[in-house]
Structure 1
Amino acid sequence: MAAIWLLLACLIAASLAGAGAGDGGSRSQVYVVYMGAVPARTSPNLLLESHLRLVGTVLKRGQRADSVVLRQYRHGFSGFAARLSKDQAAALRRRPGVVSVFADPVYQLHTTRSWDFLQQAAVKIDAAARRRAARKAAGDPSSSSSPAAATADTIIGLLDSGIWPESPSFSDAGFGPVPARWKGVCMTGDDFNSSSCNNGKRRRQGFLHLLRRSRRRKLIGARYYDMDDVRGPSQSGGGGSPRDDVGHGTHTSSTAAGSAVAGASYYGLAPGTAKGGSAASRVAMYRVCSEEGCAGSAILAGFDDAVADGVDVLSVSLGASPYFRQDFSADPIAIGSFHAVAKGITVVCSAGNSGPAAATVVNAAPWILTVAATTIDRDFESDVVLGGNNSAVRGGAINFSNLDKSPKYPLITGAAAKSSSVSDAASASHCEPGTLDRGKVQGKIVLCNHSQGDTSKQVKADELKSAGAVGCIFVNDAELAVATTYLDFPATEVTSASAAAIRKYIASTSQPVATITPAATVTEYKPAPVVAYFSSRGPSAQTGNVLKPDVAAPGVNILASWIPTSSLPAGQTQASQFKLVSGTSMACPHVAGAAATVKAWNPTWSPAAIRSAIMTTATQLDNNHAPMTTDFGSPATPYDYGAGQVHPTGALDPGLVYEAGEDDYLHFLCNYGYDASKIKLIAASLPGGFYCAANASTGLISDLNYPSIAVSGLGKAAGGGRTVTRAVTNVGAQEEATYTVAVSAPAGLDVKVTPNKLEFTKGVKTLAFQASFSGGKDAAAKKGAMSGSITWSDGKHMVRSPFVVTS
């Protein structure tokens, strides 16, 4: 039901967005013109002039090209955004050198204990790997809350909603000079000046300036791309600045690289030390989003500038709808990330929040590290205490209830409070707005059913509060793992099983009463991690033969920095500097922080090697030492969490890595269906004889040297089997190492790895192997996906690659 409503909303939005292209193709709107790689030996000024000349070929006489071109891309790739008519855009598509022309899309944001939980899990699951990593360098590599822990300065760039520079998470304490290789700037804007960050390149202006510089070495760059430029005047305001007026970018950047802040909490909940995954890293913010969304033209500008500025890792917690997914050549994130990776930048993206439906994962290009969301071992308990024997029914939510601890408030179900003017009892039982009798709910606690297709819980709670209810209880199985914030309105959420006990009590007495307790923090909650219900699932609708998502990371109730807000709980006079937020947006910067730490320890590693290290060392067990599940209790699969939960310490010493570079991704595009002429425009440097193989096909995508394996159509393959090839490179401390293979496969699927032993020497660092999958009639008859793993081990390292095979 929820998916249907989402699809309908997207159709309406797409219809409205496309309205500007009507009127016989004469009405203008913003288009992105993508022209692939920057041509060799072309100066930025010459490239900009060529863009203007190209636009001029489709404009009316007397119309200036610089009056319609809004943004130009000249660092990581070539192209521009311009206000054009539909006919002019169509004409540009036919021009030589143009890869694609597409209407500027608007994407959406995918919106402390977590790092402690990851490290604790690492100790419990793989203590040996931690000891090996500790021997690799002086000090504990997991103590990334100190700048001294990193072996090199790394710079994490974020494409997001901006940043709040005054947050204590961006303290500069302990940081040295800004890396000389940094080429970025600190743009001035509304309520944001050059002293809000430090790009290390301003002139000396006396002692006071030097003092400011010493305090501005964490946040070293900030840019913004005003939505007004391409969308017209903003209704929300605040776009003309790197300053965050949404909160999302401040939260993600502090999660990825925030300095340690002791005594952090959300009004007393989740107390502890808030810190980022790579607290030694510098932060560069590229504000591409506002409350209205994230313009594709701005996203591309952010990627383009980040490449030129010199970031090491990019964290991108936003994306398109899974129901209107663009082709790679018309997807700003796929385009920008391709060129960033080609320049050696690791790009980490959120998988999307459209779960638990299958095939909803976005940002699934194989050069992207795609992240799903899981829970941590912290919960927020808010119980329902029933009258009679004062029995407590466990609930969960974030509220600061001021109700009496004794159960004295009348209790009623939504169905019993139905308005006489409403005939739909089911809607009343769900407490849908307008269905309840105000007189029946006034002064009472109301029990409401809730489903994913309903009006939001916050809207329902506000409606009940305005009607005079003193509290409410939502029956909510699917979303219970995510603690909704109700501030000072006493609201909590219970499972269907718990609701049955409440209903039984209501039926047992003529005057049922109850109370709701304020939220309390519960740690060491089990089981954890579990895959969050909202986390988008595989398989990818675009790349079924590349397993997505890649890994999972904490994305539920994550405590991190936030912007000041006027919405305070009763009795509070000062806004919390931190907030608890959920989404794959929160999972993404966890992996970006881990990637930055791996990069710091291994400065020469490619983005593919970093991704491989993170994927092959991921874990699949929860804190009960049992296989991970979804939050519905069903077994989690690689379509839910990819290779598993990120293991930051283990990723520092993976043993073997799966390498891939620009050439591998270009051949992927061949197999995906692009022709060689288009690929030559996309690529930065191709040998003159580059061509797509005559047998290029989507089936051959399975041979991409990826740390996971996905094979589709097994039952249709010749002989009922499929063989894929992989190569691994030894990056361990021992140059001479022997790895043997272990295969975990489901019944009905035969998996054979050849050879079953890999012997590395000083002169042989990379070796290939083949994995053959077959199952004959059993595999062909089996419905759904069959998953397992291939693990190489030298007795010290466990290099695990998940696989998924469909018939």
Structure 2
Amino acid sequence: MGVSFTTKRPLKLKPRISSLIIWNSIDADGRGPRVAKHAPKFIAEPEPPMASKTSSLSWLLLLSLATILFVGHSASQNDRKAYIVYMGERRQDEVSTSSLHTSMLQEVIDREMKLMPSKLFDWDGKAFRHLTCQIYIIGFSNTGPESLLYSFKRSFNGFTAKLTEEEAQKMAGMDGVVSVFPNKQNKLHTTRSWDFLGFSQQVERTTVESDIIVGVLDSGIWPESDSFSDKGFGPSPSKWKGTCRASTNFTCNNKIIGAQYYRSSGVFLENDIRSPRDSDGHGTHTASIAAGNVVNMASVQGLGSGTARGGVPSARIAVYKVCWLDGCSDADILAAFDDAIADGVDLISISIGGTADSYFKNTIAIGAFHAMRNGILTSNSAGNRGPGLATLTNISPWSLSVAASAIDRKFFTEVQLGNNKIYEGVSINTFDLKNEMYPIVYGGDAPNTTVGSQGSYSRYCLPNSLDQNLVKGKIVALVQSCVSLQVEILVLMLMLCLSP
């Protein structure tokens, strides 16, 4: 629309909010903000007839304040890290839950408006409100919704957001908030297992087992494995409400009926596979233990040959990939629990853990609690540490914690030294040594100093702790730590991580 003036006063440009659309909400899956905004238009208008030096100064101060706010916004973004805000039971209205999470986030981040009371400026109230509102809304649209990483609303109530430490403290004091804690990384914790436990392979199976759905929260799955063939399986159970997330080179079947993956940081490492496909092997292993098909003549390069089978071979599997090469984040684990419970799984298997913490700050304990409230058992690992005091994790009373103090077989390799003495060490050797003699080196004398490794690490053959140039082609003597006795036993091991 054109604008005409009858005055000869000079024209000046004033910003006006001509159109601005903000969706302070998340997408249908509760996993990200949607923000759209149209830039403000500058409209030519005459200078107010009573304009004064005071009003010009007010505008200058206001624009300076806007600059400070945006600079401060950038600085605060660098101070933000992911926090989990847990709020207990789910609300009935998922839409209102999303709005609640957004408004709570807006409230703790809402500091700009409090810094700009109009009484500080001698300027027309309407014009002031237009500009300050625009400064605030644009600032928030780049902070609030983008800070919301996950909104948990399908099975329980809460969200994950990027907050400063001060904002997290404010959030913890808000009504309805049970706990607020940083998003930390967790770590991932044999064909003979079921025989060792006394579960006979010859037991009569029932058809109802094919309706059981096991949700596996882990590093993904390798669908081509014989353990997950859907030969002989019918359609998915009618109770199943989950999905198979479309991904390159990954498809579900009537055995693997659902698959999703979660990455709250949005950052993938070079060898991460951006799909439910397993890039580690851990998830494939745990899924096959829980519900893998019967596979005859299974072995590790010819060692330990036997029949591989899951606890319930005819059960279905739903995959929730939460672990990547750098670990498994609390935010992703909780998002997977939220989906798995609502999807209709009957059992949740999770072999992941971190440091022990209170139940209100332990995502696995929180997820398992809400699973229990929905009649779903969570079977979780008790950890890789021990035996010793305070070495167990995942011990909430509403879940099943699984641990093994022993197995019924070990793999040994004999090493013959130059003086013809023979020593036995724990090791697996699948390559041909051609009856030749090889040098021997102590792992503690070959640390990978390029990454800061020391002999106290390399003697255990911890990941990336050994210098390949010093150990390649040699037999490496390593130390096995026995925590409970506080002694160290020197064992001889053939190199597993480096080929000769």
Return the TM-score normalized by structure 1: 0.44
2:184 is aligned to: 105
Q: Does the alignment pair 1:396 with 2:400?
A: no
SS of 1:180's partner is coil
1:93 is aligned to: 172
Quote the Cα distance in structure 1 between the aligned partners of 2:427 and 2:482. 11
Contact 1:147 1:174 (8 Å CA) reproduced? no
1:261 is aligned to: 295
Query: Which of 454, 461, 464 matches 1:457?
Result: 461
SS of 2:403's partner is strand
Quote the Cα distance in structure 2 between the aligned partners of 1:167 and 1:317. 20
Quote the Cα distance in structure 2 between the aligned partners of 1:469 and 1:67. 48
Query: Which of 252, 261, 265 matches 1:224?
Result: 261
Query: Which of 472, 475, 478 matches 2:475?
Result: 472
1:542 is aligned to: none
Contact 2:155 2:370 (8 Å CA) reproduced? yes
2:268 is aligned to: 234
Contact 1:147 1:279 (8 Å CA) reproduced? no
2:146 is aligned to: 67
AA partner of residue 164 (structure 2): S
Q: Does the alignment pair 1:45 with 2:95?
A: yes
CA 1:454 to 1:272, structure 2 compared with 1: closer, same or farther past 3 Å?
Answer: same
2:400 is aligned to: 369
Contact 2:446 2:471 (8 Å CA) reproduced? no
SS of 2:334's partner is helix
CA 1:253 to 1:150, structure 2 compared with 1: closer, same or farther past 3 Å?
Answer: same
1:433 is aligned to: 447
After superposition, what is the alpha-carbon deviation per residue over 1:17-74, rounded to whole angstroms, capped at 9, x for unaligned? xxxxx978982222211111013xx222222222222222223431134332221111
Pairs aligned (count): 390
AA partner of residue 162 (structure 1): G
SS of 1:277's partner is coil
CA 1:477 to 1:517, structure 2 compared with 1: closer, same or farther past 3 Å?
Answer: closer
Q: Cα RMSD (Å) of the superposition?
A: 3.6
Deviation, 1:189, is: 2.5
After superposition, what is the alpha-carbon deviation per residue over 1:675-713, rounded to whole angstroms, capped at 9, x for unaligned? xxxxxxxxxxxxxxxxxxxxxxxxxxxxxxxxxxxxxxx
Deviation, 1:386, is: 4.5
1:78 is aligned to: 157
AA partner of residue 74 (structure 1): K
Contact 2:86 2:159 (8 Å CA) reproduced? yes
SS of 2:411's partner is strand
Query: Which of 291, 310, 328 matches 2:359?
Result: 328
CA 1:115 to 1:357, structure 2 compared with 1: closer, same or farther past 3 Å?
Answer: same
After superposition, what is the alpha-carbon deviation per residue over 1:378-423, rounded to whole angstroms, capped at 9, x for unaligned? 22221123566x5643333012343243xx6376675xxxxxxxxx
Tell which deviates more after alignment, 164-173 or 392-401: 392-401
1:281 is aligned to: 315
Quote the Cα distance in structure 1 between the aligned partners of 2:336 and 2:97. 18
AA partner of residue 397 (structure 1): S
AA partner of residue 248 (structure 1): H
Contact 1:452 1:478 (8 Å CA) reproduced? no
1:31 is aligned to: 83
After superposition, what is the alpha-carbon deviation per residue over 1:165-195, rounded to whole angstroms, capped at 9, x for unaligned? 1111101122222111111110112433xxx
Contact 2:248 2:275 (8 Å CA) reproduced? yes
Query: Which of 226, 235, 242 matches 1:177?
Result: 235
Contact 2:211 2:316 (8 Å CA) reproduced? yes
After superposition, what is the alpha-carbon deviation per residue over 1:442-493, rounded to whole angstroms, capped at 9, x for unaligned? xxxxxxxx99865432679964x6347753252645479xxxxxxxxxxxxx
SS of 2:258's partner is strand
AA partner of residue 274 (structure 1): A
2:220 is aligned to: 162
AA partner of residue 409 (structure 1): M
Paired residues for 1:633-644 under 5 Å: none
After superposition, what is the alpha-carbon deviation per residue over 1:252-290, rounded to whole angstroms, capped at 9, x for unaligned? 111111111122211111112211111121111111111
Higher relative contact order (CA 8 A, sep 6+): 1
SS of 1:231's partner is coil
Q: Does the alignment pair 1:247 with 2:275?
A: no
Contact 1:224 1:287 (8 Å CA) reproduced? yes
SS of 1:273's partner is strand
CA 1:245 to 1:147, structure 2 compared with 1: closer, same or farther past 3 Å?
Answer: farther
Q: Does the alignment pair 1:307 with 2:341?
A: yes
Quote the Cα distance in structure 2 between the aligned partners of 1:261 and 1:355. 32
1:187 is aligned to: 245
1:316 is aligned to: 350
After superposition, what is the alpha-carbon deviation per residue over 1:741-791, rounded to whole angstroms, capped at 9, x for unaligned? xxxxxxxxxxxxxxxxxxxxxxxxxxxxxxxxxxxxxxxxxxxxxxxxxxx
1:118 is aligned to: 197
Paired residues for 1:386-785 under 5 Å: 386=417, 392-405=422-435, 409=437, 430-433=444-447, 454-457=458-461, 463=467, 466-467=469-470, 470-474=473-477, 476=479, 478=481
Quote the Cα distance in structure 2 between the aligned partners of 1:153 and 1:186. 18
CA 1:160 to 1:518, structure 2 compared with 1: closer, same or farther past 3 Å?
Answer: closer
SS of 2:101's partner is helix
CA 1:99 to 1:317, structure 2 compared with 1: closer, same or farther past 3 Å?
Answer: same
CA 1:232 to 1:142, structure 2 compared with 1: closer, same or farther past 3 Å?
Answer: closer
AA partner of residue 300 (structure 2): Y
Quote the Cα distance in structure 2 between the aligned partners of 1:495 and 1:107. 29
CA 1:34 to 1:412, structure 2 compared with 1: closer, same or farther past 3 Å?
Answer: closer
SS of 1:457's partner is coil
Quote the Cα distance in structure 1 between the aligned partners of 2:417 and 2:78. 66
Unaligned runs of 5+ in 2: 1-73, 111-135
2:329 is aligned to: 295
Deviation, 1:159, is: 1.0
Contact 1:108 1:320 (8 Å CA) reproduced? yes
Return the TM-score normalized by structure 2: 0.69
After superposition, what is the alpha-carbon deviation per residue over 1:558-581, rounded to whole angstroms, capped at 9, x for unaligned? xxxxxxxxx9979xxxxxxxxxxx
CA 1:88 to 1:262, structure 2 compared with 1: closer, same or farther past 3 Å?
Answer: same
Quote the Cα distance in structure 1 between the aligned partners of 2:147 and 2:440. 61
Unaligned runs of 5+ in 1: 1-21, 123-140, 198-215, 415-428, 436-449, 481-493, 500-515, 520-566, 571-807
Contact 1:236 1:291 (8 Å CA) reproduced? no
1:352 is aligned to: 383
Please identify the structure whose Cα radius of gyration is greater.
2
After superposition, what is the alpha-carbon deviation per residue over 1:342-374, rounded to whole angstroms, capped at 9, x for unaligned? 111101111112223311211121112112223
AA partner of residue 85 (structure 1): T
AA partner of residue 241 (structure 1): S
